[in-house]
Amino acid sequence: MTANIGFALTAGVLSLAIVVGAALKGHWVVAVVYAMLVAGFAARAVYGRRGRGAPEPDADAQRDESSRGPRHERERELRRARFRRR
């Protein structure tokens, strides 16, 4: 579990405790606001969990690409260095 997912789950549980406490005391506006926070933190944790599983390339393509490094989208590729490095 990454720190981002751990933070989202911890903040969600703490917000849920505030929701329950506010609802028991009858402060419905506070309960609704913190319930929306719980939903947001849960969505953030689910999004972080779903984004971790990247498909692995097949073995032949991995051997060919390993010497050149990772491939990036065209607009994110670096240009050649203008001056020689020492």
* Predicted pLDDT at 32: 93
Task: Fill in the amino acid letter for 79.
Answer: R
- 48 versus 13: the higher-pLDDT residue is 13
pLDDT tens for 1-45 read: 678 888 888 999 999 999 999 999 999 999 999 999 999 988 988
Distance from C-alpha of 52 to C-alpha of 35, rounded to nearest angstrom: 26
Calculate mean pLDDT across residues 41-63. 66
Query: What's the confidence (pLDDT) of residue 27?
Result: 93
Asked whether the predicted pLDDT for residue 73 surpasses 80, the reply is no
Q: How far is CA 33 from CA 10, 16, 37, 40, 76, in A?
A: 17, 11, 7, 11, 39
Rg, Å, the chain Cα set: 23
